[in-house]
Chains A and B, each alone.
Chain A
Amino acid sequence: DAKTTQPTSMDCAEGRAANLPCNHSTISGNEYVYWYRQIHSQGPQYIIHGLKNNETNEMASLIITEDRKSSTLILPHATLRDTAVYYCIVHNAGNNRKLIWGLGTSLGVNP
Chain B
Amino acid sequence: DGGITQSPKYLFRKEGQNVTLSCEQNLNHDAMYWYRQDPGQGLRLIYYSQIVNDFQKGDIAEGYSVSREKKESFPLTVTSAQKNPTAFYLCASIRDGARNTIYFGEGSWLTVV
Query: In the docked arrangement, what's the CA distance between A82 and B74, Å?
Result: 31
Q: Once bound together, how far apart are the Cα atoms of A100 and B45, in whole Å?
A: 7
* Nearest neighbor of A45 in chain B, beta-carbon distance: B104
With A43-B105, A87-B42 in contact, do A92 and B98 touch (Cβ < 8 Å)? yes
Cβ-Cβ contact count across A and B, 8 Å cutoff: 69
> Contacts A34-B102, A41-B88; is A96 near B31 (CB within 8 Å)?
yes
Tell yes or no: B69 within 8 A of A by CB.
Answer: no
B95 at the interface (CB under 8 A from A): yes
Query: Does B31 lie within 8 Å of A46, measured CB to CB?
Result: no
Given contacts A43-B105, A98-B58, A100-B45, contact A93 B98 (CB under 8 A): yes
Instruction: Tell me if B102 and A46 are in contact (CB < 8 A).
Output: yes
Q: Take A99-B48, A101-B43 as given contacts and tell me if A94 and B98 are in contact as well, using a CB distance cutoff of 8 Å.
A: yes
- In the bound complex, do residue B101 and residue A103 qualify as a contact, i.e. CB atoms below 8 Å apart? no
B106 at the interface (CB under 8 A from A): yes
Interface residues on B, range: 20 to 34
Cβ–Cβ contact B107 & A96, under 8 A: no
Annotate B73-113 by CB proximity to A: 1 below 8 A, 0 otherwise. 00000000000000010101011111111111111010000
Q: B64 at interface (Cβ–Cβ under 8 A)?
A: no
Contact status A103-B45, CB under 8 Å: no
A104 within 8 A of B: yes
The answer to whether A103 and B102 have CB atoms under 8 Å apart is no
- Identify 17 new A-B residue pairs, CB closer than 8 A, beyond the known A98-B45, A98-B56: A34-B101, A42-B107, A43-B92, A43-B104, A44-B43, A49-B101, A87-B43, A92-B98, A93-B94, A93-B95, A93-B97, A94-B96, A96-B31, A99-B33, A99-B45, A99-B48, A101-B43
27 contacts between A and B (CB under 8 A): A32-B98, A32-B99, A34-B101, A34-B102, A41-B107, A43-B92, A43-B104, A43-B107, A45-B104, A87-B42, A93-B95, A93-B98, A93-B100, A94-B96, A94-B97, A94-B98, A98-B59, A99-B48, A99-B92, A99-B94, A99-B102, A100-B59, A101-B35, A101-B43, A101-B45, A103-B41, A104-B42
